[in-house]
């Protein structure tokens, strides 16, 4: 018998209502030129809006040119980039989804090649990816690994400039039509590198104990919240656990502080400070062997800890593969939102297929009207019959 699942029940945050709790996790596409969203981004993101996702995130979008992971990454540091985003956010909205943006700075992991180009640092005179590499920045002058250049340790004035860059990017995001911002504080990028004692060896107010190492993350979040409308939500992505001295208890402390300054949701990933993030690495940070797999829902316990210990809504991500698994996570109170990455790349219509598999009431009504009449006819004729 059809039923109304939690996965497909509308949810309201501040003054914004999502049609369901399914979220497109930010997926780097490395397909921009000068930080501008392209036709590829429009096609890519529109598929998930048509496919029934509730909240559609762009990939990590840099707040300044030197904050890009690669020369081919998106940015939102100028007005031309705002204009390029507008038709994308407009279409996502027209399809009943909510457009969201992840604001980021890659820090010492910037100025690298895309994964299919080896992911290594780009030299200043190497224009393979459209432009040469640049000087990276970090809390301390520690390179990512052997063979990587040493980043420039940021001065206090430069830190203030980057906090302002995040706030300016938030204003541009609003002008571009986005309704949710996520601040990227995970995967070894700039904010995460301030949080971790493995990469932050400062002796000023932005280093030392946990309070000092959290300062940059909190000041960025406070600056973004100050310019972001009160009725729109703010997310923050963390690496909940990592090598080098960052623990789940530290993440809980950070989450409580973020909640106090107006962050609404913690997006729970893990790893990345010394290598690949956990979704493509083993527990010790090294790449998984060929054919290696994480357990299903391997990062869900981190979201559960945020919900129960920090008292803040959390988003679970990491090998969530079908509708029943997602529904169970929500019903058990282990997360408030379900984020999907590779599963949605594999099947952009995953939400609509999940609704049907779950026996969701009026599942076919969730399809865009341009498709619905044909999908309903296909069902009436039997899915294996030619229609």
CA dist 379 and 121 (Å) reads 51
Neighbours of 307 (CB within 10 A): 20
Among 133, 98, 89, which Cα is nearest to 22's?
Answer: 98
Strands (E), the chain: 11-13, 16-18, 22-24, 55-62, 98-104, 137-138, 152-153, 180-185, 234-239, 265-269, 313-316, 337-340
> Any residues with CB less than 8 A from the CB of 188 and at least 6 apart, and which?
107, 108, 109, 144, 199, 239, 272, 273, 274, 275, 277
Q: Is 189 a catalytic residue?
A: yes
One DSSP character per residue, 114-161 reads: -GGGTSPBPPTT--TTSS-----EESSS--SSTTSPPPEEPPHHHHHH
> Catalytic pick from 189, 302, 371, 384?
189
CA dist 319 and 193 (Å) reads 25
Number of H helices, E strands in the chain: 11, 12
Identify whether the C-beta of residue 197 lies closer than 8 Å to the C-beta of residue 244. Answer: yes
List residues with catalytic annotation: 189
């Amino acid at each position: 018998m059809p039923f109304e699942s939690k996965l497909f029940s509308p949810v309201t945050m501040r003054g914004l209502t999502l049609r369901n709790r399914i979220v497109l996790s930010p997926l780097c596409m490395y397909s921009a030129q000068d930080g501008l969203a392209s036709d590829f981004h429009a096609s890519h993101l529109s598929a998930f809006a048509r496919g029934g996702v509730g909240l559609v995130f762009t990939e990590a979008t840099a707040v300044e040119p030197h904050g890009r992971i690669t020369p081919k990454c998106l940015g939102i540091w100028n007005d031309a980039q705002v204009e390029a985003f507008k038709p994308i956010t407009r279409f996502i909205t027209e399809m009943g989804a909510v457009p969201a943006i992840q604001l980021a700075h890659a820090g010492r992991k910037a100025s690298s090649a895309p994964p299919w180009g080896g992911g290594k640092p780009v030299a200043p005179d190497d224009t393979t990816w459209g432009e040469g590499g640049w000087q990276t920045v970090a809390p301390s002058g520690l390179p990512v690994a052997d063979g990587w250049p040493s980043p420039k340790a940021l001065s206090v004035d430069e830190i203030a400039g980057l906090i302002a860059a995040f706030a300016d990017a938030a204003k541009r995001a609003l002008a571009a039509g986005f309704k949710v911002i996520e601040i990227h504080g995970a995967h070894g990028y700039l904010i995460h590198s301030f949080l971790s004692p493995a990469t932050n060896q400062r002796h000023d107010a932005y280093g030392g104990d946990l309070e000092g190492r959290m300062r940059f993350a909190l000041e960025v979040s406070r600056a973004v919240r100050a310019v972001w409308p009160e009725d729109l939500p703010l997310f923050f992505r963390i690496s909940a656990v990592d090598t080098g001295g960052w623990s789940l208890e530290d993440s809980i402390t950070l989450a409580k502080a973020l909640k106090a300054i107006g962050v609404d949701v913690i997006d729970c990933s893990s790893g990345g400070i010394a290598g690949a993030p956990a979704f493509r690495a083993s527990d010790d940070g090294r790449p998984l062997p060929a054919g290696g797999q994480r357990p299903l829902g391997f990062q869900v316990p981190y979201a559960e800890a945020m919900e129960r210990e920090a008292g803040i809504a959390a988003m679970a991500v990491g090998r969530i593969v079908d509708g029943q698994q997602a529904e169970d996570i929500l019903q058990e109170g282990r997360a408030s939102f379900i984020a999907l990455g590779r599963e949605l790349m594999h099947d952009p219509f995953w939400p609509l297929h999940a609704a049907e598999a779950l026996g969701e009431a009026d599942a076919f009504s969730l399809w865009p009207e341009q498709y619905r009449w044909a999908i309903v006819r296909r069902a009436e004729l039997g899915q294996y019959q030619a229609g």
